[in-house]
Amino acid sequence: MKKVLFSILLAAFVLTLAAQTLPIYLDDTRPVEQRIEDALSRMTLEEKIAVIHAQSKFSSAGVKRLGLPDFWTDDGPHGVRPDVFWDEWEQAGQTNDSCVAFPALTCLAATWNPEMSYIYGKNLGEEARYRGKHMILGPGVNIYRTPLNGRNFEYMGEDPYLASRMVVPYIQAMQNEGVAACVKHYALNNDEEYRHQVNVIVSDRALHEIYLPAFKAAVVEGKAWAIMGGYNLYKNQHNCHNKILLNNILKKDWAFDGVVVSDWGGTHDTEEAITNGLDMEFGTWTNGLTMGTSNAYDNYYLAMPYKKLIKEGKYTTKELDEKVRRVLRLYYRTSMDFSHKNHGFLCSEAHYEAARRIAEEGIVLLQNTGNLLPIDRNKVKRVVVVGENAIKMMTVGGGSSSLKVQREVSPLEGIRTILGEKVQVEYVRGYVGDVTGEYNGVSTGQNLVDERKPEMLTAEAVEKARTADYVIFFGGLNKSDYQDCEGHDRKYYELPYDQDRVLEAIAKVNKNVVYVNISGNGVAMPWKDKVAAIVQGWFLGSEAGHALASVLVGDANPSGKLPFTWYAGLKDVGAHALDAYPGVWRDNEKIIDEEYKEGIYVGYRWTEKNKIRPLFAFGHGLSYTTFKLGKVIADRTEISASDNITVSVDVTNVGSRAGAEVIQLYVSDKKASVDRPLKELKGFKKVFLQPGETKTVSIVIDKDALSFYDEVAKAWKAEAGDFELLVGNSSDNITSRVKVTLK
């Protein structure tokens, strides 16, 4: 008997040991959740701790004993960042990591075309896949609350509905390629200047109606596999381990099953990180491996300090196992998902084509007095191109989204290529702005130094412009510090480098001036009525020059619409009019309280409430053709809470060339128990029409589109009563409206 018992025990022991050491078989066809539990059951405490924090700048450990590979991530939202050293921000100097730079996400938002978002995510996902990255640290969807925010170019504008619709396809497409999206920076990270010290104070209504919707859409509809906590604090708790944002809203209310990643250096407390929902800690400021400290990654808050608390019995592995489950789920969705036979592509022509298409569809024609544009290349003889932004590389710089591109076509190159030999194209500098040519070890290879005095540069530009058929001035901002760049905000709204003076001097001698603004933010335009045409050119990435030139000569008919209100000045912005930016320092000078006093009145919600006319309205964008919108028809004018309403409008292209229009649907609550904006965007659709063609555009809405966030009930609520549905092609051009009643 004893022998039998002994052999049974021995067999059991051997099996257990085997279970602990057998690799996780790749051909294991059990459901992922079972495989996760299986892997978890085999992992030691050391292995569990190892997978929830970084082991290098952009990687975290796998579990080699079980056949789980290391996990690799990389920036950024616009392209795959070049590889840096194991534990340095400096370049590793690879020769196989040049990439395609896709347009900045503000340009993607300006397309108002979810198909472009899908193309974006797919192509970026292919580049990431090829580069062996399991997760891309993007897209960003923080709301454009102030035009000074250094990182607005990485985000999708001021309106929560537009950002929600435009972020979802990007995530779905990228994750379809087997690459996790990591939507950021969750949440309320709406400016850069004091991003590590800002404690945001905001009403529940503004939080839920303005700042959370795009994150919620990314998680609930986009099914994002990861989300990044922002650096700032909310209700005095750091976002990377914020109980309300992570445990209550993200993981409970939104049932997020992915991984919460800290921003690099966003983790500040072990016990909060344990209990408040942080799953992977990256970039914490230990002095890293390079400063001689024995494995500084062990000093991470979720590393040895966490293990110590478990050893002391202060914590069981309950929270740890939940974190590890999420990390394992991320593995099985990416590094351990071998169903994807694709190995991705890098710098393929298809990727350049995608970058160019998105850029062309995102460029916004803001003004075209006298139909100066498009330039008729068969008539024009001499074009003068002015401005530093006609030649300056914009893919290098701007912070963590900076890239090492295989190529970047400048606006000047694009113009020269498209106009060809027959047209004389001359370039003059006009002004000197930022002449640095390097970021984070990536060099632009450009030497933009020009020692001439500003007066000389202006005189030269005026002289050349005097007899030109067209003057195209490429100005705006750039990716240097205190411009459109991470880590700081702009100090003022006006154009830098005295561009206004140069442009006005040119406008005095030539009436055919086209001003192309390269930026991710609005700027002051005191000369608006002195130039005929104004184009918002965004940071367009590798194909910038081709896309801009194509629009300027009319090969592409512009169809972009502004994703934010273009203010005349900061006094017209809620955050600034109420002195609610950048906030008030506490006595300890460590925390700055930034109270979002404007509440839900961000962007057009603010300007319409206060009867402020912006330079250009949210949703504004012209075309080289003309569209006529018919009368809007609702399929029902009385609805109960469970009904949908289909709103239809006929759109006709009454011009002489093909083009696209964006039909926008706004909702106005005629009588509510709370103060509500005059109208809010709740639907849009881009429609492509041949000359003379008419299409019926239909947009379906339901009671969600009529709802507001009720702070008392802590829930969304649609109050019975009358609403107006307004349809137009810009927030300041409503062509017809229809009344509906919610019973």
CB–CB of 70/63 below 8 Å? Answer: no
CB of 458 to ligand GLC, least distance (A): 38
Tokens of 527: 């000369």
Edge-first strand order for the sheet with 59-60 is: 59-60, 71-74, 135-136, 180-186, 226-229, 259-261
Sequence-ordered list of residues with C-beta below 8 angstroms from that of 92, at least 6 positions apart, any chain: 82, 83, 84, 85
Question: 78 or 392, CB closer to ligand GLC?
Answer: 78
Structure tokens at 450: 């020009």
Give the full edge-to-edge strand order of the sheet including 733-742: 638-639, 733-742, 721-730, 659-669, 680-689
* Beta bridge partners of residue 135, listed in sequence order: 73, 180
Which residue, 442 or 506, has its beta carbon nearer to ligand GLC? 442
Question: Of the two residues 194 and 723, which places its CB atom closer to ligand GLC in the complex?
Answer: 194
264 near ligand GLC, judged by CB under 6 A:
yes
Q: How many residues bind ligand GLC (CB under 6 A)?
A: 6
The Cα 738–Cα 581 span in angstroms is: 38
Minimal CA–CA distance to 416: which of 474, 455, 366, 476?
Answer: 474
> In sequence order, what E strands does 509-658 have?
513-518, 533-536, 584-585, 592-595, 627-629, 633-634, 638-639, 644-653
Q: Which is it for strands 721-730 and 659-669: parallel, antiparallel or unpaired?
A: antiparallel
Q: Which of 74, 87, 97, 263 is catalytic?
A: 263
Residue found under tokens 């503000």? 106
Of 157 and 398, nearer to ligand GLC (C-beta) is: 398
697 three-class SS? strand
450 catalytic? Reply is: no
Site string for ligand GLC, 107-146 (x = CB under 6 A): ------------------------------x---------
16, 22, 24, 26: CA torsion to nearest 10: -140
693: number of CA atoms within 13 Å, CB side? 14
Q: What angle do CA 138, 244, 157 make, to 5 degrees?
A: 35
Q: Which is nearer to ligand GLC, 48 or 184 (CB)?
A: 184
Residue for token pair 């640095």? 436
From residue 349, give the alpha-carbon distance in Å to each of 100, 354, 355, 588. Answer: 10, 9, 10, 54
Per DSSP, 54 falls in state B
In angstroms, give the least distance from the CB of 284 to ligand GLC. 12
What is the amino acid identity at position 582?
P
According to the binding rule CB under 6 A, does residue 184 interact with ligand GLC?
A: yes
- The label of the residue with tokens 């051909």 reads 27
Task: Pick the closer one to ligand GLC by CB: 135 or 660.
Answer: 135
For residue 742, give the nearest of 641, 622, 653 by alpha carbon. 641
Q: How far is the CB of 150 from ligand GLC (least distance, A)?
A: 11
Q: How far apart are CA 273 and CA 259, in angstroms?
A: 13
Instruction: Tell me if 272 contacts ligand GLC by CB under 6 A.
Output: no
Contact 94, 83 (CB under 8 A): yes
Nearer to ligand GLC, 184 or 703 (CB): 184
**How long a stretch of residues is the chain?**
743
Contact status: 75 vs ligand GLC (CB under 6 A)? yes
**Please, where are the H alpha helices in 22-73?**
32-42, 45-50
- Minimum CB separation of residue 137 from ligand GLC in Å reads 4
Going by their DSSP bridges, the two strands 627-629 and 59-60 should be labelled as: unpaired
First-residue to last-residue Cα distance in the chain: 79
Question: Nearer to ligand GLC by C-beta: 192 or 500?
Answer: 192
Note whether 396 and 402 are within 8 A (CB). yes
CA distance linking residue 713 with residue 4, whole number of Å:
66
DSSP 63: B
Smallest separation, CB 546 to ligand GLC (Å): 28
Task: State the burial class of residue 428 (Cβ atoms within 10 Å of its Cβ: 0-12, 13-18, 19+).
Answer: buried
Residue (86 or 688) nearer to ligand GLC, CB? 86
Applying the rule CB under 6 A, the residues between 343 and 402 that interact with ligand GLC are: 400
**Encoding tokens for residue 575?**
């955050």
Distance of alpha carbon 387 from alpha carbon 622, whole angstroms? 24
Residue 350, CA distances (Å) to 102, 133, 323, 522 in order? 12, 20, 38, 31
Closest separation in Å from C-beta 263 to ligand GLC: 5
With tokens 């939202």, the residue in question is 77
Decide whether 264 or 627 has the Cβ nearer to ligand GLC.
Answer: 264
For the bound state, the minimum distance from the C-beta of residue 257 to ligand GLC, rounded and expressed in Å, comes to 22
CA distance 332 to 26: 10
Q: Which is nearer to ligand GLC, 57 or 392 (CB)?
A: 57
Residue 356 CA to residue 87 CA, distance in Å, equals 35
CB of 97 to ligand GLC, least distance (A): 15
Q: Give the nearer residue to ligand GLC in terms of CB position, either 228 or 662.
A: 228
Residues taking part in catalysis: 263
Q: Which residues bind ligand GLC (CB under 6 A)?
A: 75, 137, 184, 263-264, 400
